[in-house]
Amino acid sequence: MQYFVVMIDYGRRGCEAVVDPEMTRRDVVARIASGEYSNISFIHEIRDHSVADLTANLMSEAALPEIDGRAADLQAARFDHLRDLRKHEPIG
């Protein structure tokens, strides 16, 4: 049997262990990426009689890629380019 234990730290209010035998690795990563799981203390994978700490691996899988600020306005840059091309079209 395999399942994941996600320990969430609520500070002064305590901790909560989320254990769902039907939750897959993909589900855990999706919940981290969506923000459903935050303030994670650790993530353990329980398989048969062994425990593996997957906190760093799953957190890095769920990390959103950095978006370059210069590339954020590509559509506006394309419209500007098309407008500049129209300025130089021959009239006729």
Q: Are 29 and 61 in contact (CB under 8 A)?
A: yes
Q: What is the mean pLDDT of the chain?
A: 87
Distance of CA 12 to CAs 5, 15, 16, 69, Å?
21, 9, 12, 37
| 16 falls within a domain | yes
| 70 falls within a domain | no
| 81 falls within a domain | no
Give pairs for 70-79: CB < 8 Å, separation 24+.
none
| 43 falls within a domain | yes
Domain range enclosing 25: 2-64
The domain tally of the chain equals 1
Helical axes 55-62 vs 25-34, angle rounded to 10°: 60
| 78 falls within a domain | no
The residue ranking higher by pLDDT, 9 or 82, is 9
Would the pLDDT of 84 be above 80?
A: yes
Read off the pTM.
0.66
Q: Which pLDDT tens digit goes with each residue over 33-46?
A: 998 998 999 999 99
State residue 38's pLDDT score.
87
For residue 23, give every residue at least 6 positions away whose Cβ sits within 8 Å of its Cβ, in sequence order, or none.
3, 4
